[in-house]
Amino acid sequence: MKTLESSRCRKMLLAVACAAPMGLAAAEPTDATRDITAIMKSAFEDKRQATLDRLDQDETQKLCTEARDQALPAVVAKKIAEINLATVKPPADGQYLGDWQNGEVIANTGTGLQSSDDPAKPNGGNCYACHELSPTEMAYGTLGPSLKHYGKLRGQDPAVLAYAWSMVYNSNSYAPCSNMPRFGHRGILTEQQLKDVMAFLFDPASPVNQ
């Protein structure tokens, strides 16, 4: 990003941040947000699999942006959940669990979809960036809840598996405005990869459940 564009973007962001306390949030953010988007699109370019369409917000992202820095209204949360739950596709064969060992690899892999990544290689889930999973893992993020003993504590009731699948497939289906990637909905992980991650969470032999 050019220096001038960086400066302009910072000024626009500051204008949005300062507008709310002065009671200008209803009038100012729309124009400011449009300007910021225009600056971003002019400052970046398509590079391999990292394309500019990532800057385009879908309805869920727009609703979450509008509600930023404040409690999400119940009616908006309900709408977001309904929109995203409708995108969830159960496994074609009805089987939620795959190979937990492959799931562990996916959880530990943080590459995929960046311009510097090899598009021929499978994407990772980078689960440890936000969650504690295996009790033996020494480094993990805390942005998301601990998933240690996930399957051991919850069992494998069909309703439990369906809920967990929905969360991994599209986290906004039950956690509106979640920071978790919508792995299935956005095509980040394949159906088989989702099954393998599910197995990593639920299989009794998985390190998660030891």
Determine the average pLDDT of the residues in 82-103. 98
One-letter amino acid identity for 109?
A: T
φ/ψ of 35, rounded to 5, equals: -65, -45
Would the CA dihedral through 138, 147, 153, 209 be positive or negative? negative
Confidence of residue 210 (pLDDT cuts 50, 70, 90): very high
* pTM for the model: 0.82
Decide: 124 and 110 in contact? Cβ < 8 Å: yes
Distance of CA 141 to the CA centre of its chain: 14
Determine the average pLDDT of the residues in 37-64. 90
11-48 pLDDT per residue, tens: 444 343 333 333 323 334 567 778 887 888 888 889 99
φ/ψ of 47, rounded to 5, equals: -145, 105
- 52 pLDDT exceeds 80? yes
132-165 pLDDT per residue, tens: 999 888 899 999 999 999 999 999 999 999 999 9
Tokens at residue 195, please? 């099954």
Decide: 106 and 189 in contact? Cβ < 8 Å: yes
| Rounded CA separation 65/53 (Å) | 17
Q: Which residues contact 43 (CB under 8 A, 6 or more apart)?
A: 1, 2, 5, 6, 9
Helix, strand counts (H, E) of the chain: 8, 0
Q: Which residues contact 210 (CB under 8 A, 6 or more apart)?
A: 134, 135, 136
Decide: 170 and 88 in contact? Cβ < 8 Å: yes
